[in-house]
Amino acid sequence: MRTNFSKMLKSNGAIRLQFSVYEVRNTKRIINNLMSKIEAYAKHFTADDSVILFDIEAEKLTKYGNAIHRDQDVVYFLNNKHKSLYF
């Protein structure tokens, strides 16, 4: 069940920050759809499971370490002649 739950989160835009910690940044509509899917899973949760959702405004987040790079745009260049990928 946990593996399916994790796959569902990732397929809905969640980024795994740690083993059981995910971050989702998306539109309100997508977040609401994800919340509905979590509700569907809730009936399968046991006493060993714990799901906590934090709704935090992006402006109020403080990030350190490699987390500061997650919100930056990444540009990829592919050199087909040499089969090289540049970041």
Q: What is the reported pTM?
A: 0.69
Looking at the predicted structure, is the pLDDT value of residue 55 above 80? yes
3-state SS class at 62: coil
Let me know if 37 is exposed, middle or buried by CB neighbors in 10 A (0-12, 13-18, 19+). middle
Mean pLDDT of the chain: 84
pLDDT value of residue 84: 57
Domain boundaries, the chain: 2-86
Q: Cα 74–78–82 angle (5° rounding)? A: 145
Q: Cα 68–72–78 angle (5° rounding)? A: 130
Question: Mean of the pLDDT values across residues 22-48?
Answer: 92
Looking at the predicted structure, is the pLDDT value of residue 14 above 70? yes
Q: What are phi and psi of 42, to 5 degrees?
A: -55, -35
Kindly state the tokens that stand for 87.
């970041």
